[in-house]
Amino acid sequence: MDGTTGFAATDEPVVDTDDSFTLGVVVRLADAEPERPMTVLSQGGANGDAFKVRYDPATYSWQLVVTHADEPGAAETVVGQSVWPDEPQRLAVVHDDATDRITLYVNGEATVDASASFRHAWQSTGGLQIGRGRTAEGWGEYLRGSVDEVHAFSGVLSQVAIQQLGYGAEPCLC
């Protein structure tokens, strides 16, 4: 991803955002100290992202941003984990509809700041975006780096399965 226009996208949603799902991805940022936020994954509707995973250089953290409605200026819930992005990171997004929780895992682990109550999930209608997300001005936050091993699952994976994501094989869903 070149950081200015490069991205990949599906035509249809990959996960049902108002139900339980797990997404995994491996990402490596091109710069050790990026100058602006960059989105790795997002999926939304006509006016915004139901969720997006981005790196925020102001806080040195990976963030999961979920919006409460598909409308401009909708309220957001943000969770994250501080990391130094000098190596590839294995990220996973988990929405557990049964417990109304969202969690962002970095390298198979989630801190207390990486999970929150979230009761406002809505069903996105747009495709999965890799390397960009919605901003107030339209598409933006283009990723400068590389993405590999994008995994999408209906339901909540176990902690063990989440830790297996990003190692070149499907996790054991036994």
Q: b/e map of 133-152 (b: 16 or more CB within 10 Å)?
A: bbeeeeeebbbbbebebbbb
| pLDDT score, position 167 | 78
Least confident of 9-23, 40-54, 157-171: 157-171
Whether residue 2 is contained in a domain is answered as no
Whether residue 145 is contained in a domain is answered as yes
| pLDDT score, position 121 | 85
CATH number for the domain including 96? 2.60.120.200
CA separation for the pair 53, 43 (Å, rounded)? 10
Position 169 confidence tier, pLDDT thresholds 50, 70, 90: low
**For residues 29-53, average pLDDT:** 93
How many domains does one find in the chain?
1
**For residues 18-27, average pLDDT:** 95
> Other C-beta atoms within 10 Å of 170: how many?
12
Q: What is the pLDDT of residues 97-144, one digit of tens each?
A: 999 999 999 999 998 899 999 888 899 999 999 999 998 888 999 999
Whether residue 1 is contained in a domain is answered as no
For residue 38, pLDDT over 70 is answered with yes
Whether residue 115 is contained in a domain is answered as yes
| pLDDT score, position 174 | 58
Closest CA to 9 of 149, 124, 100, 133: 133
Arithmetic mean of pLDDT over the chain? 92
Whether residue 77 is contained in a domain is answered as yes
pTM of the prediction?
0.92
CA separation for the pair 62, 41 (Å, rounded)? 12
Domain span including residue 72: 8-164
Whether residue 172 is contained in a domain is answered as no
